Structure 1
Amino acid sequence: MDVHLRDLRALIAVAEEESITRAAERLFIAQPALSKQLRSLERQLGFPVLARHPRGVVLTAAGQTLVAGARDIVARWDEALADFRTAATTGRIVIGMQTAVGRGLQRSALARFRELSPGVIPTLRLVSWSDPSAGLDDGTSDVAFLWLPAPSDDLDVLPIVRERRCVALPADHPLARQERVAFADLLDEPIIALPPEAGALRDFWIAAPERNGRPAVIGATAETPDAVFEAVASGLGVVLLSEGNAHLYSRSEVSIRPVDGLPPAVLALAWRRADRRPLVAAFVRAVDEQLE
């Protein structure tokens, strides 16, 4: 049996909120994804931990025992991770990202960071979309380049760039003949979505708020940019992306057009609010200076 810290944190949140909906909002994931995660946890354990009723959920007797232990496990992990971070104030910084940053920013920021923190080795880490925190949640990244909305209110963010959204379509798609595409013309198109674990970020990139309750037609899900564009080139659907990434991921079999009727996307640098290490502050400063 392989129970993850993310499962324990989810169970704790549900126990404290006594509502899967409120717990999902607190964890910044979609309610169906959280329900699926909890059902999977119960299957792994072999016994129910939640009793569901019309007004919410309560812990079963077994669930109460498990939550008490889960709190201890999570607290011990957080303490151990904090001790590790304190010990690792020099030597290496891990920079999580889910797409190429580009935009002339990454190279200049890294050069400035090396000036501010000589001897610290930056490590670039590409993280699957299934972790919308790009490694910040489990401590495998120290800072991360993320698309907003941020997956947790425990993060601080520095907005970097605001860009309009575009749509990538197969090159032979009828809409590819237009110079611009209205979002209304995409409502019935199959769309390539991030995995359900991406939560609010998945909703943003399928433009769920702008659909006014009309469900998106999911043509496929993808966890990496390469998988996204392979799905588009294969005719499985279209995908929304930022204008800057349109230049980074150009492919001959895919056409990219600006979309009218959507708010822009915001790329940000994120880090854990409780992480006060000098090397994190130095990286934030290095990026911030490139924005001036």
Structure 2
Amino acid sequence: MDALGRDLRYFVAVAEELHFTRAAERLFISQPALSKQIRMLERYLGASLFERNRREVRLTPVGRALLPHARRVLAEWDAAREATERAKAEQRATLVVGMNTSPGRGGLLPAITSRLTAEVPDVRLMLRQVSWDDSTAGLANGSSDVAFVWLPLGDAERYTWIVVAAEPRHVALPRTHRLASRETVDFADLLDEPFLALPPSAGRLRDYWLALDARGGRPPVIGAEIAGADETYEALVGGYGVCLLAVRNAPLVTRGGVVTRPVVGVSPSRLAVAWHTDDRRPLVQAYARAVRLAVGDGGPDSPDGDSADGDNGGDGAGFGR
């Protein structure tokens, strides 16, 4: 198409200028080179396109018939090339991956990345740490393209996700707490304890980590609000309350003076990779395919009732916010 497209472009320029010298200047080529290409096109078509004399250049009937079609072909070709360049740029673009805590459970992140780069070698990934007060890890405000999130998500209908890990929830306690000596803790024994809570902006996730569904309608006692791992640790050792977290996130807070214990009577936590349902960009869809390959499951990637409620699991997650 490149050679024919070039010749059609030359023909259109001459047809519009009706002057070979002006058309050559417009095309940034020499007039003899332009005349040569037009003659080659005429030979290819088997007909003259222009009538030439010393005073003027005019289109022949064949030239007039060709002109509107040549313009359409060139317009479609230009549009096709632009679409191709956009697609190539999207394939090469940076993909921003949001997260609230590290998703590196059992090599999960490297497994996803290796599968993505096998499909899109030029991809550039930017990992973005987002405060716990944004339960979507940057999806809601568009600062992340895909994100590792903890279920349940607010505005679940806006997102599609794949559950990549599930873990039992533990309770983090000061080492001096009356329940710290137990091997397991029944959630019923925590109902009157002050809890550390995510900010209200975390929405449904705040309720989930307070285990509202396991309280039988009894409201939680909020000892303090936390929006990061350091704040959580300081609040725990300061005796402001206890908190639920996923077992693999225990190292975030067990730095000295804090212990974690399994909790009976609450559902597992679930970690998912999520993106906007209406985001059809090739790079986002490639990341979703890489996630599916990494977890070995075409999986629970729709915001149905169970996924949105965050009450059933797969294989490992955490107190993520």
TM-score, scaled to structure 2: 0.62
Corresponding residue for residue 259 of structure 1: 263
Determine if the alignment matches structure 1 residue 273 to structure 2 residue 273.
no
Corresponding residue for residue 201 of structure 2: 197
Determine if the alignment matches structure 1 residue 137 to structure 2 residue 140.
yes
**Is this contact kept in 2: 1:86–1:277, CA < 8 A?**
no
| CA apart distance, 1:90 | 3.1
* Partner SS, residue 176 of structure 1: coil
Structure 2: distance between partners of 1:266 and 1:194: 17
Mapping 1:43-192, distance limit 5 Å: 88=90, 90-104=92-106, 105-152=108-155, 153-192=157-196
Structure 1: distance between partners of 2:278 and 2:102: 26
The structure-2 alpha-carbon separation of the partners of 1:282 and 1:129, relative to structure 1 and needing over 3 Å to count, comes to: same
Structure 2: distance between partners of 1:127 and 1:229: 18
Which AA in structure 2 matches 1:285? R
Structure 1: distance between partners of 2:142 and 2:111: 25
Structure 2: distance between partners of 1:99 and 1:256: 18
Structure 2: distance between partners of 1:128 and 1:89: 28
| CA apart distance, 1:85 | 11
| CA apart distance, 1:163 | 1.3
- Give structure 2 stretches of 5+ with no counterpart: 1-85, 297-321
| CA apart distance, 1:274 | 0.6
Structure 2: distance between partners of 1:107 and 1:282: 15
**Is this contact kept in 2: 1:100–1:248, CA < 8 A?**
no
Structure 2: distance between partners of 1:145 and 1:121: 17
The structure-2 alpha-carbon separation of the partners of 1:150 and 1:196, relative to structure 1 and needing over 3 Å to count, comes to: same
The structure-2 alpha-carbon separation of the partners of 1:254 and 1:86, relative to structure 1 and needing over 3 Å to count, comes to: farther
Q: What RMSD, in angstroms, separates the aligned Cα atoms of the two structures? A: 1.9
| CA apart distance, 1:288 | 1.6
Q: Percent identity?
A: 48
- 1:98-141 Cα offsets, whole Å, 9 max, x none, are 11112120122122222222222111111112211111111100
* Partner SS, residue 101 of structure 1: coil
Aligned residues: 209
Corresponding residue for residue 58 of structure 1: none
- Moved >6 Å (runs of 4+): 84-87
- 1:71-111 Cα offsets, whole Å, 9 max, x none, are xxxxxxxxxxxxx9997553201111111112120122122
Corresponding residue for residue 33 of structure 1: none
| CA apart distance, 1:226 | 2.5
- Give structure 1 stretches of 5+ with no counterpart: 1-83
| CA apart distance, 1:273 | 0.4
Greater displacement, 233-242 / 103-112: 103-112
* Partner SS, residue 110 of structure 1: helix
Q: Mark the structure with the bigger radius of gyration.
A: 2
Corresponding residue for residue 245 of structure 1: 249
| CA apart distance, 1:249 | 4.7
Greater displacement, 238-247 / 85-94: 85-94
